[in-house]
A and B are shown apart, each in its own frame.
Chain A
C-alpha cells in the first residue's frame, strides 16, 4: 500500500531533550515536507526537500532540523524542544515535477513539550 509513515504517533517530552520524528514514504516521491498544525493557523511548512541531499526552510523553520540522506526518509529533528513546539506534525510527500499532483500526508505526530 502506498503510504507515508510517521513515528511516533504521540510523544510527550521535556524541554531540552533532543528528539527525532521519523517519516518514510514508499512511493518513490521526490518532494517531501514537514508541516505543523496549530488551531487557527492551519498547516504551516517547516522544511521541505526536493530530492536527496536537497533541503530548504519553509515558513517556520526555527528550532527544527531535517535531513534527506535517502529518498524515502525525511526525519524531523528537534535539538532542544521548547513548549512552543507543542503541536501536531505532519510529514507529506509529492511525486515531483511531471509525475502527478497533491500531497500525500502521514498520519501525524502529536508532540507535547512540557
Chain B
C-alpha cells in the first residue's frame, strides 16, 4: 500500500522568510496530492492540492510542486506570517479514491515574529 513520508517534522522560520515542506510517496498509482493545514485545536483544512498531470500550482503565497519521476512533492510558503504557524499534512491518493488516501506524519511550522 501507499506510504507517505514528510520532512521536516518541525520547522521554525522568521516572519517574512520562506518555508518548504517535502513529502515522498511510494505508490506510483497515486495521482492526487493535497495539503492540509491544522491550527491548534482545530480540524485539518485543505489549503492546496495538485494532480499528477500538473507540475506546479500556486495560490497567492503558497505553491505546490510535484516530481512524479522521483515521487516527491513539496509545499512552498513565501513571505510567512505568524498566522501560518500550524501543523501541515501532505497526503497521497488515487483521485477520488477514498480508501487509498494516506497522510504524512505532519510538519509543525512555527513562524517567529
Q: Which residues of A contact B (CB under 8 A)?
A: 31-33, 35, 40-45, 48, 50, 56, 58, 90, 94-108
Closest 9 CB pairs of A and B: A31-B98, A42-B105, A105-B43, A43-B103, A102-B46, A97-B96, A42-B103, A42-B106, A94-B98
List, in ascending order, chain A residues with CB within 8 A of B46's CB: 102-104
CA distance A103 to B6 in the complex (A): 19
Chain A: minimal CB distance from B45 (Å): 7
Tally of contacts, chain A with chain B, CB under 8 A: 60
Across the interface, do B49 and A101 meet the contact criterion of CB distance under 8 Å? yes
Interface residues as binary, B1-41 with A (CB distance below 8 Å gives 1, 0 otherwise): 00000100100000000000000000000001010000000
Instruction: Name the interface size band of chain B.
Output: 20 to 34
CA distance A25 to B98 in the complex (A): 16
Chain B: minimal CB distance from A104 (Å): 8
Q: Which residues of B contact A (CB under 8 A)?
A: 6, 9, 32, 34, 42-46, 49, 51, 89, 95-99, 101-106
The verdict on A56 contacting B43 (CB below 8 Å), with A42-B89, A101-B32 known, is no
List, in ascending order, chain A residues with CB within 8 A of B103's CB: 35, 42-44
Q: List 26 A-B contacts (CB under 8 A).
A: A31-B98, A32-B98, A42-B103, A42-B105, A42-B106, A45-B102, A48-B99, A56-B99, A58-B99, A90-B44, A94-B101, A97-B96, A98-B96, A99-B96, A101-B34, A101-B49, A101-B95, A102-B34, A102-B46, A102-B49, A103-B101, A104-B46, A105-B43, A107-B43, A108-B42, A108-B43
